[in-house]
Amino acid sequence: MNQGNREINARESSMAAPSELTGRYNCVADVMTRKTVSLSPHHGLVEAVSLMADRHFRHIVVVDTGGQILGVISDRDILRTLARTSNWQTKDVSQIMTRDPFTVKRETPLSVAVAKIVAKRINCLPVLDDEGKVCGIVTSTDLLKAYQKLLESLQRNRAAL
Amino acid sequence: MEHNMEIAVATDLAAGHPGRPSSATRVADIMSSKLVTLSAHHTFGQAVQLMTNSPFRHFLVIHADGRLAGLFSDRDVLRALGRTPNWQAKNVSGVMTHKVFTVTPETPLSVAASEMLSRRINCLPVVGNDGKVCGIITSTDLLRSYQKIQAALENDSCGTSADSV
C-alpha cells in the first residue's frame, strides 16, 4: 500500500444565497458543492468504501494527476459491488467507476443540469472549469435544495399578493 | 403478517403528468399515482429480482387493505445484501423501513422537498384521507417539476454555454 499516492482531496464550500433580485438561482455555480472528494483510479475500492462509510456524501470523483476527470463512483456503485463481488477488497476504483461521466460547467443553466440528471437517471454531475479540471460537483440534492428555496420564495410572493 | 402484504412498485416512469407543470404547488400535482402491485408472497430474493429487472428505486410494501406497511429502497437492499449471507431466504420486512414519513396529496411541494432534504431520503409515500396509499413522490418527480419551472425562469440566465457540455 503506497500511502504517498493515496491523497484524498476536499475543498470547502457552501451554497450561496439566491439572487436578491430574483430570489432564485440561475446557473450551476450558484448551487454546486465545491467540496469534492476525489480519488485516483489506482486507489483500492477499500478506500472508497471507508471514505463513504462515515461521511455524508454519496459521490466520489476520480481524477488523474493533472486533475482531469476520469470517472465517478456513487454509493450505489459501491453497494452493488459489495453485494455481488465476494473479492471486492481486491478491486480498484478504476474497475467500478463510471467512465467519461456527463459533466457541466459553472455557467451551465440549472434547467440544463436538472434535465441531464433526470433524463440520464443519475444523481451527480461533476463541474469542470475552462481547463477541464474538476472544480465542483452538482448533485440532485443541491438541485432539490434550489427548488425548495424557489418554492418558498414563490409561496411568499403569492402570500404577498 | 407477511402473507397479506403486497409489494407495490412506484412507477416513477409514469410521472409524466401533463397537468399544470409550472404551477405545481402540491404533492397531488406531480406524484405518481400508478402503483404496480406484484406478488403477495415475497422474499428478499424476489425483491432483489424485481429490483434487478426494473428501473425503480423505491418500493412500497402495503397491507392487503391498502395501508402502508413499510418502504424499502435499492440502497436498503444493496446494503442488506452486503451483510446478509443467506439473504434469499429472508423476508422483505427484514430490510424495509417500518416507520415511514408520509405526506398527503395536499402537502405543499416545498414541505415535501424540505422533508426529503432534512431526512436525507428520496421518496415519500402519499397517503389519502382514508389512510390508504394513493401514490408516491420521489426526488425525481420534484426535479422534473423544477426543470420545467426553472427553464421558464431562465430568460435572464447567466450563460448560454450549456449546449457545449
For chain A, which residues make up each domain, given as ranges? 22-160
**Taking CB atoms and an 8 Å limit, are A151 and B109 in contact across chains?**
yes
Band of pLDDT at residue B153, cut at 50, 70 and 90: confident
Asked if pLDDT for residue A14 goes beyond 60, the answer is no
Picking from B51, B114, B158 by the largest number of A CB atoms within 10 A of its own CB, the best residue to mutate is: B158
Helix, coil or strand: residue A41: coil
The CATH homologous superfamily of the domain defined by A22-160: CBS-domain (3.10.580.10)
Backbone angles phi, psi at B130, to 5 degrees: -80, 5
- CATH number for the region B2-152 comes to 3.10.580.10
- Tell me which chain B residue has its CA closest to the CA of residue A104: B165
The string of pLDDT tens digits covering residues A86-130 is: 888 899 999 999 999 999 999 999 999 999 999 999 999 999 999
Question: Which among B74, B144, B154 has CB closest to A109?
Answer: B154
Pick from B33, B2, B28, B17: nearest CA to B107 = B28
Of A148-152, B9-13, B20-24, B143-147, give the lowest mean pLDDT range: B9-13
Share of chain A above pLDDT 90, in %: 56
Give the number of beta-carbon pairs within 8 Å between A and B. Answer: 117
Quote the ipTM score: 0.80
In sign, the C-alpha dihedral spanning B111, B114, B120, B121 is positive
- Tell me which chain B residue has its CA closest to the CA of residue A78: B78
In this structure, are residues B133 and B125 in contact, taking their beta carbons and an 8 Å threshold? yes
Please indicate whether residue B65 or residue B19 has the higher confidence score (pLDDT): B65
Residue A109 makes CB contacts below 8 A (sequence gap 6+) with A26, A27, A28, B150, B151, B154, B157, B158, B159, B160, B162
Write out residues 5-34 of A within 8 Å (CB-CB) of B.
22, 24, 26-27, 29-30
Picking from B147, B154, B155, B156 by the largest number of A CB atoms within 10 A of its own CB, the best residue to mutate is: B147
Backbone angles phi, psi at B63, to 5 degrees: -70, 165
If one counts every other C-beta atom within 10 angstroms of the C-beta of residue A76, the result is 17
Say how far apart CA A132 and CA A74 lie, in whole Å.
21
Of A83-87, A149-153, B112-116, give the lowest mean pLDDT range: A83-87
How close B74 comes to chain A (CA, Å)? Answer: 8
For chain B, which residues make up each domain, given as ranges? 2-152
pLDDT given at position A19: 54
The string of pLDDT tens digits covering residues B33-85 is: 877 655 445 777 777 777 777 777 888 888 888 888 888 888 887 777 777 76
- B13 touching chain A per CB within 8 A: no
Question: Which among A56, A103, A147 has CB closest to B142?
Answer: A147
* DSSP type of residue A18: P
